[in-house]
């Protein structure tokens, strides 16, 4: 018998109280698998930031990669079976490190906050977690707060069931692009393989979401970053889509010149051979 998930108003939750203290941060990035509540939490923190008089800027994988998916690039790096090409995933990651540094340099003294979603799995913005020797490293290590939502097993099941409904009947155009339940399960399998590679102890059945394994993998990936783990056991009353914003936000997007530069960096890793594909497929082998 499935555990009953309690639904409460977000403002009555401990998470809401915690978020009040996060408003002093300049950059907050929600990390984790699709289907753990990142979009909802991003929306709520954005609402709180706006109410506090902050200008809200957003970094989201699904939106940021659109600048890299123009026809001229898709002809060279096509999407196959709904999966973004390895070169695009690497290029977006290369761009993102510099984009965060540039944003911080321009907005650090302003009443502004940058809030983002970084899946990391499948090499989706994994570069933000990697310890490198560039100018962005000190910012990422010292001034960016990564938050890892960790839903309980029962809550994850609830989220998956909700995703089934919104996949069939999306309430917002962006919900139509959300990872469907079968993709959530495939990504879990990928995380399980990452856990095996990292030798994180005895692993349970790979088919079932395990919050302990989930936490352990992301802690390992983000060990060079300021990381806050957010345990979630309740769902929040939310009648609208997580993509319905009542505040004005500004997306962090790449310019055509930045896109071209980032593709050059990705291509230098091995455009025509298997090197780039293998690097992206086994992203967790070079996570740090």
Q: Are 59 and 114 in contact (CB under 8 A)?
A: yes
Q: What is the mean pLDDT of residues 27-48?
A: 94
Contacts (Cβ under 8 Å, ≥6 apart) of 121: 33, 187, 190, 191, 194, 283
3-state secondary structure of 69: coil
Closest CA to 128 of 62, 31, 271, 217: 31
3-state secondary structure of 36: coil
| Its pTM surpasses 0.75 | yes
Token pair for 272? 């025509």
Share of the chain above pLDDT 90, in %: 63
> pLDDT value at position 272?
52
Q: Are 148 and 230 in contact (CB under 8 A)?
A: yes
> pLDDT value at position 168?
53
For 153, other C-beta atoms within 10 Å of its C-beta total: 15
Token pair for 62? 């699904």
> pLDDT value at position 212?
93
pLDDT at residue 258 above 60?
Answer: yes
> pLDDT value at position 157?
87
Residue-wise pLDDT for 259-272, tens only, equals 999 999 998 887 55
> pLDDT value at position 1?
41
Q: What is the mean pLDDT of residues 109-131?
A: 96
> pLDDT value at position 82?
73
> pLDDT value at position 260?
97
Residue-wise pLDDT for 142-194, tens only, equals 999 999 999 999 998 888 877 666 555 555 455 445 556 667 788 899 999 99
Question: Mean pLDDT, the chain, as a whole number?
Answer: 87
Would you place residue 8 in the very low, low, confident or very high pLDDT band (cuts 50, 70, 90)? confident
Q: What is the mean pLDDT of residues 64-92?
A: 91
Q: What is the mean pLDDT of residues 247-264?
A: 95
Residue-wise pLDDT for 206-245, tens only, equals 778 899 999 999 999 999 999 999 999 988 876 565 556 6
């Amino acid at each position: 018998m499935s555990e009953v998930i309690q639904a409460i108003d977000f403002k009555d939750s401990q998470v809401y109280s915690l978020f009040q203290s996060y408003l002093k941060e300049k950059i907050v990035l929600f990390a984790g698998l699709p289907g753990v509540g990142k979009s909802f939490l991003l929306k709520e923190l954005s609402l709180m930031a706006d109410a506090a008089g902050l200008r809200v800027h957003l970094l989201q994988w699904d939106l940021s990669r659109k600048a890299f998916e123009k026809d001229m690039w898709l002809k060279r790096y096509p999407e196959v079976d709904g999966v973004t090409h390895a070169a695009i995933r690497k290029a977006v990651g290369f761009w993102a490190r510099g984009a965060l540094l540039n944003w911080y340099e321009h907005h650090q003294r302003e009443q502004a906050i940058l809030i983002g979603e970084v899946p990391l799995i499948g090499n989706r913005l994994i570069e933000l977690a990697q310890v490198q020797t560039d100018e962005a490293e000190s910012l990422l290590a010292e001034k960016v707060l990564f938050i890892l939502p960790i839903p309980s097993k029962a809550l994850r099941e609830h989220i998956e069931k909700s995703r089934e409904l919104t996949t069939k009947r999306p309430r917002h155009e962006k919900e139509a692009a959300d990872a469907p339940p079968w993709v959530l399960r495939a990504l879990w399998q990928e995380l399980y393989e990452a856990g095996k590679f990292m030798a994180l102890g005895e692993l349970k059945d790979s088919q079932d979401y395990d919050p302990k394994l989930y936490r352990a993998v992301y802690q390992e990936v983000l060990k060079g970053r300021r990381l806050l783990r957010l345990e979630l056991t309740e769902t929040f009353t939310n009648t609208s889509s997580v993509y319905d914003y009542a505040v004005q936000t500004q997306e962090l997007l790449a310019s055509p010149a930045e896109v071209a530069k980032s593709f050059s960096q990705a291509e230098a890793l091995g455009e025509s051979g298997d090197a780039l594909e293998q690097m992206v497929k086994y992203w967790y082998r070079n996570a740090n």
